Structure 1
Amino acid sequence: MDETLGTALRRWRDRLSPVDVGRTSRPGRRAAGLRREELAELAGLSVDYVVRLEQGRATSPSAQVVASLARALQLEPVERDHAYRLAGLLPPQKGTISTHVPAGVQRMLARLGEFPVGVFSADWTLLSWTPAWAAMLGDPSARTQAERNLARAVFASGATGLAAWPVHHDGEALYAALVADLRTALVDYPHDRGLVGLVAELRSTSAEFSRLWDEGAVGPHVSARKTILHPQVGEVTCDCDVLTVPGCDIRLVVYTVAAGSADAEKLEFLGVMNGVGSAPAGPGSFPAP
């Protein structure tokens, strides 16, 4: 019997431990791996659509859906490419930005649910986030992929930010670092049409971006202090660090506060209010076709 996307999804779902995605494996649990409902939540899809995919009744998933499922199932790159082919799609080509988040990074995020952490691709599109990120900055799942791009949120005229409420930060240092990152990404991924379009868009819509780009601005990401004006707890001041993962071109943005501080108490309150610690990292949300 030939393998289909549906049979592959069931096999990959059965082998993934609930603990690896931040779930509690309770005694008496019938499913050794993930339930369909859990996969749907992780991938930002409806349960009905996951059922139809596994049963072969949905036969034309989009590339975004397959990428989201691959992240949720913690597939290795070769498995991710196999999933694309089973869906009748070309795998991501060389010279284009990868949205793959390594399984090790996903397992780490599942265990860091109490910290606000976001995972970004080379063009600064938010791929995944912890529940604490959503609690502190607002849930990104309702935003489109374009709206989850940090550079667009920072520079584009009239664009809404990735945060649902104001965030005060050292703008000049962040602006220079983002421009430098996109310039490097354009060298590394010259055939990525999305990246080329993003740079062209920002050059035409943002005078600040265009100025920094033409000046050849460079700047590394350094630890920064940011103040979030949260509607429930007021000002929360955090240290923000950008971490890179060796071997893959993704960045982790991590917010931390000093233990025992007033800001730590506010984050703890937000965690209690939003059930942080009981949910896995969010991979982003894509509507079922």
Structure 2
Amino acid sequence: MRTQKNHGGGRKPWDRKAGDKKPWERGGKRPFKRGPARSTPRDRDGPAIIYGWHAVEAALRNPKRRILRILVTQNGEKRLQEFGIKLKVTPEVVRPEAIDRELSPDAVHQGVLIEAEPLPVPDIADIPANGLVLVLDQITDPHNFGAIVRSAAAFAVDAIVTTARHSPEATGVLAKSASGGLEHVPLVLVQNLARALLELRGRGFQLVGLAEEGETDLSDAKLKAPLALIMGAEGKGLRQLTRETCDLLARLDMPGEIKSLNVSNAAALALYIARRAARP
């Protein structure tokens, strides 16, 4: 069988021949335990693996995030020291390929990787009464979801509401794409999105769904706080029950030849408009 080489020239774990000893059976360290595939974000029900400088730095600086293990290269350790990050867990200094083996081949870890406990998961009742909320209706791509979390952090969104099912794990690719945003924007996980929207409405939130067929451009809509912006997956858009629950459907008019945006870009634009328009 053809083997794939890592940076150190050895075989990848999935290329071991039958009968080969595992690294920890030869005296090495046991790698992070990987649980079965989950249908709910790992931040709710299991340890998260976070890699990449910005995501790891934000997690290490977050007092609510309990760190279980830290892997760093020599350069990564030096960078942590230069930034004066106080660590409660002693880092394990390893070669880059040791971190490579914990991740998918295309992951860019920048010499740092941590395993951490889940963050506290708030309830809808914990969202500030005059807040700005982003509701995601079955957005499953971790790159898009992570980029949306990053924009949400930039625009001081009070919470992201999404379903416990049909959403990506709050770990790995999502955490890297969020670039530290997971530490600043709470994820509220619900079982039924329509019911959650009704609960938000009961708390006084205006429910504005983003849809191409919206009756008005978002920048012309009369927005008020508290406000919940609801976005659907690319292609599918908002589900029927979700759109029927909204108070208003709004669109984003594009002056150029291309009339639509990637969902993460659309979220950033919508949040910019909402922050400027919605007033208490």
TM-score normalised to the size of structure 2?
Answer: 0.30
Which protein has the larger Cα radius of gyration, Structure 1 or Structure 2? 2
Name the one with the larger strand percent. 2
Name the one with the larger helix percent. 1
